[in-house]
């Protein structure tokens, strides 16, 4: 066994692993995450209908032939607002059914690795499984490099200097709320840009930050795009997109 295998460790029967797979480039997986992807009995992942699943795609170079997989397909994603009754009803039922399916595997004594883009405890669907299963089954969460750290690294943007405060804002907030929060922060990350791109851009401009704002799409992935937000004129961005506004604090 190599030193890397020893460091990565093994998977235990009947345990659920929330595996953070990082922002996109497979080389940014931790040793523990890479080891578990290969060691668990069942590799589980969420995916949007008709797509391979981003977290599953990220770990493709590591997969062991013949490993059991479970794909859980979202009934909807960002087609309807998350506040709507339809979204909450359908996604709530989907998460309950997924947790039941995972519980069945765990009761059978299988080790299950549920993949999570970036870090599992940062706006991750995994959290909805953790909430339902962690009191009944052993769960290990493996932290991952977040999408935002992958993006600011690729955009070459040091984000927080000295006493700078950093606001992490979902682009799904209302425009006024975005402006208000942006005015209070020294540095900001705006997640979930996708269909909210035009609104996010207006809010950043209203907060007087457009000249510093950078749009990063699919950071660290093969088809990554990085450009000033001021040059983004389309009303909609990619689902995997964020806006970064670096701080300007104490630079010695
Ligand atoms: C549901 S959140 C998942 C966040 C993830 N758990 C993390 O640690 O980054 C999805 C949002 O994360 C952001 N995101 C994650 N990875 C990204 C990447 N590689 N490039 C751009 N945006 C990314 C996008 O704003 C996307 O809408």
**Average pLDDT of every residue of the chain:** 95
pLDDT at 156 over 90: yes
Interior angle at CA 213, CA 209 and CA 217, nearest 5 = 150
Which helix H or strand E contains 47, and what residues bound it? strand 42-48
Read off φ and ψ for residue 114, nearest 5 degrees: -100, 120
> Ligand 1 atom closest to Cα of 116?
6
| For residues 105-115, average pLDDT | 98
Contact between 38 and 111 (Cβ < 8 Å): no
Token couple for 21 = 């797979």
Q: Which pTM was predicted?
A: 0.95
Determine the residue of 28, 147, 214 to mutate for testing ligand 1's pocket, defined as the one with the most ligand atoms within 8 A of the Cβ atom: 147
How far apart, in whole angstroms, are the C-alpha atoms of residue 101 and residue 84? 26
What's the Rg (C-alpha) of the chain? Answer: 19
Q: What is the CA 206 to chain-centroid distance, rounded? A: 28
Determine the residue of 23, 30, 114, 117 to mutate for testing ligand 1's pocket, defined as the one with the most ligand atoms within 8 A of the Cβ atom: 117
Strands 139-142 and 225-228: unpaired
| For residues 12-24, average pLDDT | 98
Please, where are the H alpha helices in 108-224?
Answer: 126-133, 147-154, 175-184, 197-206
**pLDDT band at residue 32 using 50, 70 and 90 as cut-offs:** very high
> Ligand 1 atom closest to Cα of 171?
25
Atom 7, ligand 1: residue with shortest CA distance = 118
How far apart, in whole angstroms, are the C-alpha atoms of residue 203 and residue 120? 28
| For residues 199-213, average pLDDT | 98
Eight-state DSSP code of residue 123: S
pLDDT digits (tens, 9 = 90+) for 89-106: 999 999 999 999 999 999
């Amino acid at each position: 066994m190599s030193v890397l295998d020893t460091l990565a460790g093994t998977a235990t029967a009947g345990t659920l692993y929330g595996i953070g797979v990082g922002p996109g480039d497979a080389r940014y997986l931790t040793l523990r995450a890479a080891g578990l992807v290969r060691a668990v009995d069942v590799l589980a992942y969420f995916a949007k209908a008709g797509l391979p699943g981003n977290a599953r795609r990220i770990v493709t170079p590591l997969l062991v032939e013949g490993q059991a997989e479970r794909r859980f397909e979202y009934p909807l994603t960002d087609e309807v607002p998350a506040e709507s009754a339809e979204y909450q009803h359908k996604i709530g039922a989907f998460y309950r059914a997924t947790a039941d399916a995972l519980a069945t595997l765990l009761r059978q004594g299988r080790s299950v690795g549920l993949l999570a883009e970036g870090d599992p405890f940062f706006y991750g669907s995994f959290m909805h499984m953790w909430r339902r299963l962690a009191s009944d089954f052993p769960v290990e969460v493996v932290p991952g490099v977040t999408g935002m750290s992958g993006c600011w690294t690729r955009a070459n943007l040091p984000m927080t200097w000295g006493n700078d405060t950093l606001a992490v804002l979902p682009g799904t907030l209302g425009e006024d709320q975005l402006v208000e929060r942006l005015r209070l922060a020294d540095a900001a990350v705006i997640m979930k840009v996708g269909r909210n791109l035009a609104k996010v851009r207006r809010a950043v401009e209203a907060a007087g930050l457009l000249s510093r704002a950078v749009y990063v799409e699919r950071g660290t992935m093969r088809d990554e795009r990085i450009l000033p937000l001021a040059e983004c004129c389309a009303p909609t961005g990619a689902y995997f997109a964020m806006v970064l506004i670096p701080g300007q604090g104490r630079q010695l």
